Chain A
């Protein structure tokens, strides 16, 4: 239809003056999406397996909080970028001539497009970091509980070491690398300590 192509031409010519509005709308919908994704993450984290990281072995005990901090920083940065793209920063004054307004608009649209791309990349990075943190906290090995340190006072003196076992009427205590054997009959006192006394 011939007049139809005339109408399409009119629409295309009009769109040339709506570029900024369109770009801002794109950024705005990205900002809304980002808020939704972040809220979704918060919901997912509720279902995680482990309550705290204190049970994890080193170095995972530090890896998980680091990943979460990284994720938080990335998502905050992504949100700020999207907000700035959608609403524009308080800008310097532009000379209000047709040409300068046109050039400013072109530059602004380009800036918005770049910001939306950056926000998108940051969001993916933030979500990945959260997933990694949750994955590590689920799958990392638990720390082995610290061995029980005891001080054993007996007829043959006082020794400090890790309580291993009893066997054949004797107490087995690991002192540094050797295992000492103390007859149970001669033991006067056993007490738990956090560190061997000097």
Chain B
């Protein structure tokens, strides 16, 4: 049964919603090397999907160490990217969502 999205058009606000223990799934990304977090934003109830991909972080150094954290774990921050144009969202905001952010546990 398709989900009924009950999106609320709340004002854009950068607010920390804390750790979300439920409602989010972390899967292997279908398109790139990494993971994908999807769920429903606890603030505006819009569907949001965020990619967590593996990549290089900097251009320094000649000798490359082995990948530092072979398997990172713990809570990680996710921001709402529901795609709705929330009122008062600044033009320069980097995320297309309501501004809320929270943490989701990485799968161990």
Q: Is the CB of A6 within 8 A of B56?
A: no
Interface size on A, residues (CB 8 A): 25
Interface size on B, residues (CB 8 A): 22
Q: Is the CB of A102 within 8 A of B31?
A: yes
- Mark the stretch among A8-16, A41-49, A178-186 that contacts chain B: A8-16
Asked if A6 meets B55 with Cβ closer than 8 Å, knowing A33-B62, A102-B31, A106-B32, the reply is no
Q: Is the CB of A22 within 8 A of B31?
A: no
Tell me, in angstroms, the Cα distance from A33 to B60 when the chains sit together: 12
Q: Is the CB of B33 within 8 A of A23?
A: no
Tell me if B's interface is mostly helix, strand, loop or mixed: loop
Q: Is the CB of B32 within 8 A of A6?
A: no
CB of B70 closer than 8 Å to a CB of A: no
Cβ-closest chain B residue relative to A2: B16
1/0 contact string of B16-54 vs chain A (CB within 8 Å): 100000000000000111000000000000000001010
Cβ-closest chain B residue relative to A109: B56
CB of A30 closer than 8 Å to a CB of B: yes
Q: Is the CB of A5 within 8 A of B77?
A: yes
Q: Which of B50-90 contact A (CB under 8 A)?
A: 51, 53, 55-62, 77-79
**Residue among A6, A8, A26, A30 with most chain B CB within 10 A:** A6
Contact partners of A99 in chain B: CB under 8 A: 31
Cβ-closest chain A residue relative to B75: A5
1/0 contact string of A153-184 vs chain B (CB within 8 Å): 00000000000000000000000000000000
From residue A194, how far is it (CB to closest CB) to chain B in Å?
A: 56
CB of A111 closer than 8 Å to a CB of B: no
Asked if A19 meets B77 with Cβ closer than 8 Å, knowing A5-B101, A9-B101, A102-B31, the reply is no
From residue A19, how far is it (CB to closest CB) to chain B in Å?
A: 5
CB of B14 closer than 8 Å to a CB of A: yes
Q: Is the CB of A23 within 8 A of B56?
A: yes
Contact partners of B78 in chain A: CB under 8 A: 9
Q: Is the CB of B51 within 8 A of A16?
A: yes
CB of A128 closer than 8 Å to a CB of B: no
Contact partners of B94 in chain A: CB under 8 A: 10, 13-14
CB of A95 closer than 8 Å to a CB of B: no
Contact partners of A106 in chain B: CB under 8 A: 32-33
Q: Give the A-binding residues of B (Cβ under 8 A).
A: 14, 16, 31-33, 51, 53, 55-62, 77-79, 94-95, 101, 103
Known: A5-B16, A29-B62. 6 other contacts (CB 8 A): A9-B77, A10-B95, A13-B94, A16-B53, A26-B61, A99-B31
Q: Give the B-binding residues of A (Cβ under 8 A).
A: 2-3, 5-6, 8-10, 13-16, 19, 22-23, 25-26, 29-30, 33, 99, 102, 106, 109, 113, 120
List 16 A-B residue pairs with CB atoms under 8 Å apart, sorted by A's residue number.
A3-B14, A3-B16, A5-B101, A6-B101, A14-B94, A19-B55, A22-B56, A22-B57, A22-B59, A23-B59, A26-B59, A33-B62, A99-B31, A102-B32, A106-B32, A109-B55
